[in-house]
Structure 1
Amino acid sequence: MKKKPELLAPAGDLEKLKVAIAYGANAVYLAGKNFGLRTRATNFSESELLEGLYYAHQNGARVYVTLNILAHNEDLAELPKFVRWLAAVGVDAVIVSDPGIIAIIKKEAPDLEIHMSTQASVTNYAAAEFWKSQGLTRIVLARELSLDEIREIKEKVEVEIETFVHGAMCMSYSGRCLLSNFMVGRDANRGDCAQPCRWKYKLVEEKRPNEHYPVYEDDHGTYIMSSKDLRTIEFLPDLMKAGIDSFKIEGRMKSVNYVATVVNAYRQVIDEIYEKGDDYSFDEKWFDELSKSSHRHFTSGFYKEKAGPSAQSYDSSHYVRDFEFVALIREVEEDGVTAIIEQRNNFNLDQKLELLLPGGVVKDAKILIMWDMEGNSIVSAPHPQQVLKAVFDSEVKPYGILRREK
């Protein structure tokens, strides 16, 4: 392999940023309290963004801030000040889709690196060349492209290319959708999508308002707009050979368990491909590992062929959850086995648990004894986000993920 691509992870909040980097992300993308396309993620205050930026840079990772809304006039009042602040604190790049916002950035912070968002629907080399001519250094391509089309763009335009490799897909073209706005007044293009494409629909005849008829795509169900999740881990060698510069994982609204599990899997596979080259052979254990985070059924998207009926989930829009996220390891004492952990799902002392550690180690884990923070011995952790102290039967690390099979 000529080069190792960047692994770019979602950071919906400060905790997820630190977890993503601990599990091998080279860069994270996040939003401040405004101007990003995930307003219902926790997102970052200025003080949190400063802390996250410092943590990332101390650990050799980059931070990209999303300013990728399709802006209306009222969105622009506070933007110049925020752009100047981002440049002053040293963020590595901003992700933008609106030409007006690009103009503001060039005026207020001309040295700030700009990446073009997938929201711009760049699907050809002429569009990529145009945005390069405007000073943009990276293009996040539309998700509707095949691998051959991506390869051709990379060959014809000297610009960094970023593509999605894992996570939720949108049934609308590169996320440009008015369905949420029309149905519930929440603007998807300004970060507030209600995901009505995931809802279950029935048909009502005008003169029979109380008679609901199911809308069948086929004999299996009625979820005619709900896309499956993207998964490309099995053909990462092809993506790497195509020269893609950055592999992007979707999921700023997802859990810490999702971030750790998915980033770890892609990190391990990318490193192995880079090390072994043509001798690399995919191990299907990674399918099992990715299934341990909350997900919908998977599709390869548009990479191999145009997405057809098999890319949709007709029977349900619900997530598959074969494993439960039990607890996050916060701190580890010098002995390596005593730790402060934070509960995320009710668990008992005698339950069989699995532990995922930064660096890719997955092993069975047993808690030998645990106490609440007042020093009282306990046998269960029933309270949401309860902080407790535990002794394990083997070494653990900060940001370890405890989970159990359902």
Structure 2
Amino acid sequence: MAQQILLARQPILNSNCDTVGYELLYRDPNGCPPGELFDGTAATCEVLLSAYTGILHKGSMRTLPAFMNVNEELLFQDLPNFAADNMVLEIIEDVPITDKTAERIKELSAQGFKIALDDFVWKDEYLKIIDYVEIIKIDVLELKGNALFNTLEKLEPYKLTLLAEKVENIFEFHRFRKLGFELFQGYFFAYPEMIKGKRASGSELTMMELLSELSNPDATPEGLEKIIAKDPRLAVRLLKIVNSASFALQRSISNIGEAVIMLGLNELKKWALIVSMSGTLDVPDELCRELLIRAKMCEEVSGHYQIEPGQAFLLGILSGADALFSMPLEEITTYISLSDDVIAALLEHEGPMGTLLGDVIHFAHYDWGKLSGSVDSMILNEALHTAINWAIESQKTATSA
């Protein structure tokens, strides 16, 4: 890329919890939004789109729209035409709607770029551009009560898609969906409703047993094989993956025991988790994607925190166990045997593992001001990029098996 940029992405989901785009959040290493993100070249834009908005969806690769903040300076830069189909330009609230900016927005709309208004609060000057706007983003933490209802009433005559920003729990998601919002941004999908007295299903129990065995430092190939054998679908898919072209083995593998020997226990641990999370649990695809990315990112930077890579990978998965099983983490520990330091890291972000986990989550969620400073932010940036690509390729292999 033309300059060093810290990048994170936040998913945008529809009312069915399907991911329909990502907002790309960025700044330079000094903490400032880069003034020349596109720097007049198509190459930078192409890297952003392919690396951060590609997902595997129903067995095929897709490039989802990238939602990108645009200030007054960026508004007047030349954007590559090829990006128009895959980019939503979010005009931030600080951009004055003058005759000049209104004309530029009209030009970009004519080129095929979708236009969104970010952190929307009604101003009469928006009437100059409302016909070229497709998406209105409302910060539902800031715009509340009568102010929200008055805004929705003023927008009603126009054909606009409403996007609720900062939706952080499932109850808010249901509320704003009823109010007519069609798109949602926030991490509500990772905090599902906890069901009192909920019992784990058969597939969930197998997954919990698998997580427990994987977290055991004395885990054996025989013990892992015994658990995997309880779920025939998991066993068959694992064998298909091991025998796929991805591994280029010299002979076919016919049982899990052989797979452990050929791949090694640590590698098989990863694939067991990937397969068991790919379509076997009733959770949003974005949650599985996020946890795989988080786990790989933890593994990538583990050495900087003096943590064993395999333990760091599992820590990333365990950090979302409450969302996977719709149970509080405290309750899940009754099913999964974890050491005290792992529990402290998961529940309180304490110790070296807690610092690692906190840094990875904060970086990926754009909370860069909360980083511990233990590791240079560009190292975390590179780890995130690597983790996204790895998750895409791993899910592709898992779903094709």
So what's the TM-score if we normalise by structure 2? 0.40
Q: Which has the larger share of strand?
A: 1
Q: Which has the larger share of helix?
A: 2
